[in-house]
DNA sequence: CGTTTTTCCGTAAACGTTTACGAGAACACA
DNA sequence: TGTGTTCTCGTAAACGTTTACGGAAAAACG
């Protein structure tokens, strides 16, 4: 059915070696022969079989993206992976690379899926998302010497891999800045209780800004909860019950913010009126919630494209003549001012 | 680095044929030998190279999922693909199948990406989403004899492929039913202007229910627009300007509903108060919008799993001894009553 | 003990590529 | 004409599997 390089060779009465060289643009083939090969390839509708190619070259030309759902994640998952994936895939496709999506089992730090991809050599490299502060996937890939890049930083693995992250520290800082400028002194911070690295970065920025403004950090105003609506709903009252309740809350996650606002509403507190609310990562939900939520927005599709570039720059097979580079970048977020603060 | 079947053979002083047979559970290998092979495989950390396997067997053990963004789609894409993909991938993984994600170029009906996957044999089958009423991807795959399944029906390709769809017709019907029961007689329907098949199905249900209730279909109350917020925003005033404006609107898309509500608000009309609003496919946005939007909700993750099963049942390599079957299913939606109607 | 059957394993080909190597022909140069 | 160079191509091996085939040894059977 599908034509192979042998079919072309037989059809043209030349050897398969020449056909292959002609197709791959090698120099040692007569211009006329090459022309005939290309024509025949078009006529016979030839495309190289990727399995054969992979086997010979030891490279699959596909990149695995591993997405690890959080335990207890809500039905629709993290909305921002689609645009990120779009960018990632677009740039990879320009290099004729495929994107394989691997999802971990929710609820556990599973390496099994990852291990399978690596050991059966189904992909040439891996992109990790949802990086933990200490991430066993990173440890594993580092030790295995398998190329990878991450969306988000981690304390694991050192600086040996490319990573692209959002500047959560600066966002936490700016959020406090903005609230202080609007007269707030009692500012709460609510973040996920998971080991997710961004939760730590966010808190660093939050603390730094408070110090700069000479405001003492009150542990009662910092709380961790499940990274979903329920988490925000459960943990917000906790902060409100402190001896000296906050007048503003920064949520480190959109879903938690929605749950938190629900809790506030039930306590008769109106976000944007009686309580300032800022969300660190903007999603469409923030735009449509009532009140609309002030939030920091990342540019996801460009990030996807950029991380693809960074990964490729670290791979010997794709890096230019100037050699491989490990690039790490931290991108700023754009503040979208809305009604809630 | 990675050990091959040759390493095992050398290590055990037997032939590679025997090793392969032992690993694959073939009968013609001594129980004792098999034991030794399995142990050695574990010790040497052996996993079969997928490229070699694919080449020999003519099957890649990976399934491609093609997602085609709509022209002018908003930043975050369709939120429901992540849970669907989760289910799809989970079931495929149980059969040791990988999931490859292929995104078409937004704005065009591009077959190029698809063609590449098929012709270079990078996947054993394809899953299509965003099916059009007349879908050239389906035509192409049918003609090429390449196995595929679709999320959503189409008029293309006949009944030769498995498909799983949501019962948009019934949802349109039920929405009208519900509105009529609440006293409405002037009910508008707003759907995307694209060739997307669900838009037609929805309208069929809408018309059917109106007829059953003896209400004449008013063409002025049916409008098409871009499948995003802007589309809803632009087209809603159009319906409102009709000689006999509606008292209720059914939106066939969540983003269009949000845009529509914005337009209504600007006209001084309050959804859920002065105007009943129902949305056909529920997303988290519907739950957080103010007012919360009554909507029909699909169960996406189970659908993903089910479509994987249906696809596998149609593939000779995976169908059980009872042979391959083409399964087509249409799943009902669950009405989530909220404040907007 | 001779014959047949069964058990087990090695050999080798095949999947579709790429590529190192070498060889023949053409050409340049003296 | 002899030698060296360049151009072009064919040959064959290699990547890591699976599997058809055949054969030797062991077991079963009379």
**CA dist., res. B101 & res. B89, Å (int):** 11
Query: Which residue's entry shows tokens 């067997």?
Result: B57
Is the predicted pLDDT of residue B180 greater than 60, yes or no? Answer: yes
Give the residue carrying structure tokens 């449509």: A288
- Residue B29: its pLDDT value, please? 95
Tokens matching residue B215: 């209400």
pLDDT for the residue A2: 83
Position B1 confidence tier, pLDDT thresholds 50, 70, 90:
low
Say whether A224 sits in a helix, a strand or coil. strand
pLDDT cut 90: percent of chain B above it: 83
Element (H, E) at A324: none
CATH class name, domain B5-48: mainly alpha
A110 HSE (CA, 13 A, CB side): 18
In A, which residues are within 8 Å of B253 by CB distance?
none
Q: Who contacts A206 (Cβ-Cβ below 8 Å, separation ≥6)?
A: A172, A173, A175, A176, A187, A189, A250
pLDDT for B106: 62
The whole-number pLDDT of residue B49 equals 97
Tokens read off for A71? 């335990």
Counting every residue written for chain A, the total comes to 341
**Yes or no: domain B62-166+300-332 corresponds to CATH 3.90.1150.10:** no
CB spacing of A89 vs B76 below 8 angstroms: no
Buried b (16+ CB within 10 A) or exposed e, B246-256: bbbbbbbbbbb
Q: Tokens in use for A19?
A: 């056909």
pLDDT digits (tens, 9 = 90+) for B262-296: 999 999 999 999 999 999 999 888 988 889 999 99
Question: What would the two tokens of residue B97 be?
Answer: 């199948």
Over residues A195-229, the pLDDT tens digits come to 889 999 999 999 999 999 999 999 999 999 998 88
Q: Which residue spans within chain A are E strands per DSSP?
A: 62-67, 98-103, 125-128, 148-151, 163-166, 187-192, 222-225, 248-251, 276-279, 294-297, 328-331, 334-336
Contact, A49 CB vs strand C, < 7 Å: yes
Stated as kind and residue range, the H or E segment containing B128 is strand B125-128
CA distances from B98 to A48, A286, B89, B207 (A): 21, 34, 7, 42
Instruction: Name the nt closest to B55 by C-alpha to C1'.
Output: C15
pLDDT at position A77 is 54
Q: Residue A165 — very low, low, confident or very high, per pLDDT cuts 50/70/90?
A: very high
* Residue A222 φ/ψ region, left for φ over 0, alpha for ψ in the -120 to 50 degree band, beta for the rest: beta
Give the 3-state secondary structure of residue A62: strand
Per the CB < 8 A criterion, the answer to whether B138 and B153 are in contact is no
Between positions 285 and 324 of B, the ones with CB within 8 A of A are 285, 288-290, 300-301
Query: Euclidean distance between the first and final Cα of chain B, in Å?
Result: 64
Residue A287's pLDDT is 87
Q: Which residues on neighbouring strands pair with residue B103, listed in sequence order?
A: B67
Q: Percent of chain A scored above 90 by pLDDT?
A: 83
Per-residue flag: A52 CB under 7 A of strand C = yes
CA A99 / C1′ D29 distance in Å: 61
Q: Would you state the CATH architecture of domain B168-297?
A: 3-Layer(aba) Sandwich (3.40)
CA distances from A304 to A163, A166, A178, A297, A322 (A): 11, 12, 29, 15, 23
Tell the burial category of B100 from Cβ atoms under 10 Å away from its Cβ (0-12, 13-18, 19+): buried
Residues 129-188 of A with CB under 8 A from B: 145
Q: Angle A40-A46-A49 (CA atoms, 0-180°, nearest 5)? A: 145
CA distance B102 to B62: 12
Q: Using alpha carbons only, give the angle A288, A292, A295 rounded to the nearest 5 degrees.
A: 105
Nucleic acid strand C within 7 Å of B33 CB: yes
Q: Rounded CA gap, A278 and A340, in Å?
A: 7
How high is the pLDDT of residue A73? 57
Nearest CA to CA, how far is B313 from chain A (Å)? 22
- Contact between B74 and A284 under an 8 Å Cβ cutoff? The reply is yes
* Interface membership of A113 toward B (CB under 8 Å): yes
CA quadruple B312, B313, B317, B320: dihedral sign: positive
Whether pLDDT at B73 is above 60: no
B55 strand C contact, CB < 7 Å? yes
The Cα B127–Cα B309 span in angstroms is 12
Does the pLDDT of residue A61 top 70, yes or no?
A: yes
Domain range list for chain A: 5-48, 62-166+300-332, 168-297
Give mean pLDDT, residues A85-104: 92
Over 60: is that where the pLDDT of A75 sits?
no
Which string of b and e fits B26-43 if b means at least 16 CB within 10 Å? eeebeeeebebbeebbee
Q: Which helix (H) or strand (E) holds B88?
A: helix B81-94
| B101 with A102: Cβ contact below 8 A | no
Nearest to B76 among A89, A284, A290 (CB): A284
Q: At what angle do helices A50-57 and B50-57 cross, to 10 degrees?
A: 140
Q: Which of B222, B233, B227, B242 is nearest to B176 (CA)?
A: B222
> Is residue B90 scored above 70 in pLDDT?
yes
Are B125 and B64 a contacting pair, CB within 8 Å?
yes
Lowest mean pLDDT among A47-51, B64-68, B151-155: B64-68
Count other Cβ atoms within 10 Å, centred on residue B279: 32
| Strand C lies under 7 A from the Cβ of residue A45 | no
Answer yes or no: same fold for A62-166+300-332 and A168-297. yes
- CB contacts of A300 in chain B (<8 Å) are 75
Rounded to whole angstroms, how far apart are CA atoms B176 and B182? Answer: 10
Q: Give the end-to-end CA distance of chain A in Å, rounded to a whole number.
A: 64
Beta strand B187-192 pairing with A248-251: unpaired
pLDDT at A82: 84
Say how far apart CA B153 and CA B196 lie, in whole Å. Answer: 10
pLDDT higher than threshold 80 for residue A241: yes
Binned at pLDDT 50, 70 and 90, residue A109 comes out as low
pLDDT at B71: 62
Tally A–B CB contacts below 8 A.
140
Helix (H, G, I), strand (E, B) or coil at A188: strand
């Amino acid at each position: 059915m599908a034509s192979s390089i042998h079919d072309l060779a037989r059809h043209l009465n030349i050897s398969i070696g020449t056909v292959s060289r002609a197709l791959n643009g090698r120099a040692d083939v007569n211009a006329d022969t090459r022309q005939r090969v290309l024509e025949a390839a078009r006529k016979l509708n030839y495309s190289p079989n990727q399995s054969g190619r992979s086997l010979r070259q030891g490279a699959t030309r596909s990149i695995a993206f591993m997405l690890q759902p959080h335990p207890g994640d809500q039905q629709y998952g993290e909305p921002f992976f689609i645009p990120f994936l779009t960018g990632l895939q677009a740039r990879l496709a320009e290099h004729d690379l495929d994107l394989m999506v691997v999802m971990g089992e929710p609820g556990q730090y599973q390496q099994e899926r990852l291990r399978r991809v690596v050991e059966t050599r189904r992909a040439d490299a891996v992109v990790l998302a949802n990086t933990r502060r200490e991430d066993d996937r990173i440890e594993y890939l580092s030790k295995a010497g398998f190329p990878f890049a991450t969306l988000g930083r981690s304390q694991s693995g050192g600086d040996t891999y490319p990573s692209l992250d959002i500047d959560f520290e600066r966002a936490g800082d700016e959020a406090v800045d903005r609230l202080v400028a609007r007269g707030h002194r009692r500012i709460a911070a609510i973040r996920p209780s998971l080991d997710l690295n961004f939760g730590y970065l966010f808190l660093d920025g939050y603390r730094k800004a408070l110090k700069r403004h000479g405001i003492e950090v009150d542990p009662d105003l910092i709380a961790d909860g499940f990274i979903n609506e329920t988490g925000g709903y459960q943990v917000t009252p906790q902060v409100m019950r402190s001896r000296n309740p906050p007048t503003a809350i920064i949520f480190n996650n959109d879903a938690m913010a929605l749950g938190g606002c629900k809790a506030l509403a039930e306590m008769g507190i109106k976000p944007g009126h009686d309580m300032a609310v800022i969300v660190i990562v903007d999603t469409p939900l923030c735009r449509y919630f009532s009140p609309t939520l002030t939030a920091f927005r990342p540019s996801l599709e460009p990030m996807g494209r950029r991380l693809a570039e960074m990964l490729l720059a670290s791979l010997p097979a794709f890096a230019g003549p100037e050699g491989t580079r490990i690039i790490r970048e931290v991108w700023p977020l754009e503040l979208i001012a809305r009604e809630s603060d």
